[in-house]
Homo-oligomer: A and B are copies of this chain.
Amino acid sequence: MLREDVTDAIRSAVFEELAAVGFARMSIEGIARRAGVGKTAVYRRWKSKLALVLDLVSAVAAQGLPVPSTGSLYGDVRALLEVASHALRHPLASRVIPDLLVEAARHPEISEAIKSALLDKEKGIAAAVVREAVARGELPEGTDPDRALDLIAGPLYWRLVVVRGDLPAGYLDDLATTAVAALTRDRTT
């Protein structure tokens, strides 16, 4: 019977190592060292570096993302931004997420895992938020949820991850207001 505390230590080490050096530089030896564990213990559980990371991603996926339902489009969007901004400012996650997104361009398995663990769920959430807003009459029928996600998540990701700028007080409120206005506005001209 594999010891669960060892398994947990390895999982944490993978996360930390991923944040520290990135997927490309991450090594099994480094993970075992960080976890205070023999390489044997790692290889007994996973067969490769890739398998370790895929396991980590699907573990994150399993815990799911909260689906906001505040009763208003603004409230839902604001809640989405709140959650996303926390993730993108988490000291470890803020390094791991962009790193894996970039690696996904080179590894189909990572791409697939990230897609089903994160992007598809976000798309689903956006779709749900849009659907409810349409039902409430806040948005016109036929509103494109993918475009909605671009407008909601894009500016935040750009600022926090790409530019790595700060988040002034009230900025999330402003982004939410802006996104709602952009979605509400008739897409004419």
Contacts and interface: CB of A to CB of B under 8 A. Distances in A.
Contacts of A187: 174, 177-178
A147 interface: yes
Given A99-B102, A164-B105, A158 B147 contact: no
Q: Is the interface of A mostly helix, strand, loop or mixed?
A: helix
A72 to B, nearest CB: 13
Number of copies: 2
Interface centre among A99, A155, A159 (most CB of B within 10 A): A155
Interface string A159-189: 1011111000001001101100110010101
Interface in A110-149: 111, 119, 146-147, 149
Given A98-B102, A102-B99, A159 B150 contact: yes
A106 B52 CA distance: 22
Contacts of A119: 162-163
B146 A150 contact: no
A165 to B, nearest CB: 7
Contacts of A10: none
B164 A153 contact: no
A139 B105 CA distance: 39
A57 interface: no
